[in-house]
Structure 1
Amino acid sequence: MAYKTLFTGKTHTVGGSNGAARSADGFIDFTLPEAHPAAENLFGVAWSACFMGAIGVAAQQRKIKLPETPSVDAQIDLNHAGGANFFLAAKLDVSIPGIDRAVAQELVEAAHEICPYSKATRGNVEVEVNLI
């Protein structure tokens, strides 16, 4: 399959008492708390941003002008089922103000099919996507 790379994100992360995360372009640059870096929060931010972009693509494909910017509230749960059995679950609450609810629902469903994060987690992570 031939493809064109649209963007490459490069980061460097260091743990421990001097923990930090930085993207190669400098856009991301922060310290990580030693106790718990909350990777689930970082994953939620990345997935939300990607999902909003996918909503834009879905709207553009359907020639729908979004009157307002969508928003996504992500909840990423780190779960433990004993031993070394750790797993994630996710909930995405999506708001697309200013358009008919049925159209918004169609865009949410399409975005979930388009978004690379949604694709990457499909079959691996229990995901609940809600239009709010």
Structure 2
Amino acid sequence: MSSVLILNGPNLNLLGTRQPEVYGAVTMADIESLCSAHGQSLGLTVSFQQSNHEGALIDAVHAAKSVHSAIILNAGAYTHSSVALMDAISSVELPVVEVHLSNIHAREAFRHKSYIAPVAIGQICGFGARSYTLALDAVAGHLGLAQ
């Protein structure tokens, strides 16, 4: 069974209470439950990590190389600022799908630039918690597990 790391960045631990008008009422626990079930239906084992610290996210990307087949990454605000995270993704040579709950392209101009997109196989944004299950579908397809 292929393994996928779902890696979440800063402030995502506050889902459900942080700006529900933007991010919805779903919690990180809700997303993890949804993704575990969906991943299993696709033949994927799903692991989760979240950190508010850039270095911890980079360490998680590095560690994923020897454990996981792919990464689904919601880097939060680091999407728009972290060259270091972009370099980490490039260095591990794992397929990465960039995910966002909100449509970053319909928000403030500074959110339109992603340092993750150039090193990801794709970006899914704007579908709330469903962005994660869509990313799992994309990973399964990329790994040849789904039609």
Quick check: TM above 0.5? no
Larger strand share, 1 or 2: 1
TM-score norm. by structure 2 comes to 0.23
Larger helix share, 1 or 2: 2
The structure whose RCO (Cα within 8 Å, separation 6+) is larger is: 2
Of structures 1 and 2, the larger Rg is shown by 1
